[in-house]
Structure 1
Amino acid sequence: MTLRADAVGHAFDGEPVFSNVSLAVDPGEVVAVIGPSGAGKTTLLRFLALFERPDEGTVSFDGTDVWDAPESDRLGLRRRVGIVFQEAGLFDADVARNVEYGLRVRRPWSERLGDELAGLLGRNGTNGAVREALDLVGLADDADRSAASLSGGEAQRVSFARAVAYEPDVLLLDEPTSDLDPRNTAVIEDAVDRACDRGIGAVLATHDMNQARRVADRVAVLLDGGVIEVGPAERVFGSPDDERARKFVAGELVY
């Protein structure tokens, strides 16, 4: 499924954040959105996550305008999107239950198997998906640990596992490694790559240029109220068309 924003614009208290922003993510690709603080990276992700409607423009799944769809259909479209925020936001429970939450809320067993069979399976019915998601982030042996005992990096890895456990079509990542050490950062970047190998599309908002170089297939530069450059990562970092983009990726612009 292709998630797409077309000519999206938004303002806060009458002050424009950005306008005429278009961006699409296809299955299996990583699109990095880079730009200075305050450029609107998180706001753009909120629109792609279908949390709120932009002031102008459209957000669509495979050509279906999300906000023109009936509310019941819109809920189904939201369930196709997984989100990893900057902070893990885990519950006071063990690791397995935290990951399982995504399955139960986004992809309930009653939809997939029928109420009667779901009742017979109970909690054990989700164990395979939970184990697979935890294995993706190197925590398959930690399912019974209390979330409170995890380091910050481990907690973020659990948050990632929770977002991919129900196999979303698109994964949105909002500065997911900004507070992490190099090892945990590498684990999550590898997990993004492996998830995309399974056909999940990903949009990564990051201020880390090196991370965008390592992970992204395409890069969009969000600057001065719009996307001023978008294209293959190698071209955007090597020879962007827009002079502002060139200065930004070279570290010559200060905000």
Structure 2
Amino acid sequence: MIRLSDVSLTFGDEPVLRDVSLSVEPGEVVAVIGPSGVGKTTLLRVFALFLRPSEGTVELDGEDVWAADESRRLALRRRIGMVFQEASLFDATVARNVEYGLRVRQSWGERLSDQLWSVLGSNGTPEAVAEALDVVGLDDKLGQEARSLSGGEAQRVSFARALAYEPTYLLLDEPTSDLDPRNTGLIEEAVSEARDRDIGVVVATHDMHQAERIADRVGVLLGDGFSEVGATETVFEDPTDERTRKFISGELVY
């Protein structure tokens, strides 16, 4: 699993995360909910190994990530995919965007299985790319220019790009915040597919109904850390912490 233990992070004199502990196992979806400004995106960036905690540890399969040397830490980081709130695509075809992660890993010398890279479809595209696009419902747009896509389609391409190189863990930062119901549903289906592939998923979302639909566990992040982390049904229907109950009911306002 990937685990954050007693993590705190300070920017200058401003504490952003305080004594946060959270883990995710392969094949598990964990949703992080909470008000704006409490550090959900920052938490994901710590999980992604983009940010080093001021205090606490980050472990991946029992290995202390920040105690490792830089080359080892890079190898660990390559096992983690991230989809940001706004899609950032290259001025290229959909296929070229999705295969970017594969190409980068090839150029860095990381071994990729035949299934991921060497096996090409009839159009010369790695089968892993076509398969990832099929998961998000865009397998018919391999050769289309990414700049011609709608916002929802672009976000689905971003998801496919992260999925194509088969990460062990996938981090999603408000992946459907500006999307229509159809695109939201397709991305939620893709999250379920990632779970079925034994990928551990952490999704930060403002949408509590979405968390109920897709998550195995939910963490409620408030200003002083998690008020509660537990099974989705328990957190929403029978929370143990009064702050959790008030936040979910709308009584707790930040």
Q: Quickly name the TM-score band, shorter chain normalised.
A: over 0.9
**1:32 matches 2:44:** no
Structure 1 residue aligned with 2:167: 168
- Give 1:116-195 correspondences, 5 Å limit: 127-195=126-194
Structure 1 residue aligned with 2:211: 212
Cα distance, 1:12 vs structure 2: 2.1
> Could you say what the CA RMSD is over the residues aligned between the two structures, in angstroms?
1.9
Cα distance, 1:16 vs structure 2: 1.4
Cα distance, 1:108 vs structure 2: 5.2
- Give 1:217-232 correspondences, 5 Å limit: 217-232=216-231
Cα distance, 1:111 vs structure 2: 3.1
What residue identity is the alignment partner of 2:207? D
What residue identity is the alignment partner of 2:176? T
Structure 1 residue aligned with 2:92: 93
Residues in 2 aligned to 1:51 and 1:109: alpha-carbon distance in whole angstroms: 19
What residue identity is the alignment partner of 1:99? V
Residues in 2 aligned to 1:169 and 1:113: alpha-carbon distance in whole angstroms: 14
Residues in 2 aligned to 1:125 and 1:12: alpha-carbon distance in whole angstroms: 47
Structure 1 residue aligned with 2:196: 197
Q: Answer yes or no: is the 8 Å Cα contact 2:239–2:245 preserved in 1.
A: yes
Cα distance, 1:17 vs structure 2: 1.6
What residue identity is the alignment partner of 1:155? A
Structure 1 residue aligned with 2:10: 11
* Length-normalised TM-score, structure 1: 0.93
Q: In percent, how many aligned pairs have the same letter?
A: 69
Residues in 1 aligned to 2:192 and 2:225: alpha-carbon distance in whole angstroms: 27
What residue identity is the alignment partner of 1:212? A
Residues in 2 aligned to 1:107 and 1:239: alpha-carbon distance in whole angstroms: 48
Q: Deviations over 1:170-191 (max 9, x none)?
A: 0000000000000000000000
Q: Answer yes or no: is the 8 Å Cα contact 1:16–1:225 preserved in 2.
A: no
Gaps of 5+ in 2: none
Q: Answer yes or no: is the 8 Å Cα contact 1:170–1:201 preserved in 2.
A: yes
What residue identity is the alignment partner of 2:4? A
Cα distance, 1:127 vs structure 2: 1.8
Q: Answer yes or no: is the 8 Å Cα contact 2:95–2:125 preserved in 1.
A: no
Residues in 1 aligned to 2:130 and 2:108: alpha-carbon distance in whole angstroms: 17
Residues in 2 aligned to 1:173 and 1:180: alpha-carbon distance in whole angstroms: 14
Residues in 2 aligned to 1:228 and 1:153: alpha-carbon distance in whole angstroms: 33
Structure 2 residue aligned with 1:55: 54
Gaps of 5+ in 1: none
Q: Deviations over 1:14-72 (max 9, x none)?
A: 12122110000001000000000010000110000000101000111011000101111
Q: Answer yes or no: is the 8 Å Cα contact 1:30–1:201 preserved in 2.
A: yes
SS at match of 2:127: helix
Cα 1:99/1:113, change in 2 over 3 Å: closer
Q: Answer yes or no: is the 8 Å Cα contact 1:3–1:62 preserved in 2.
A: yes
Cα 1:125/1:110, change in 2 over 3 Å: farther
Q: Answer yes or no: is the 8 Å Cα contact 2:58–2:66 preserved in 1.
A: yes
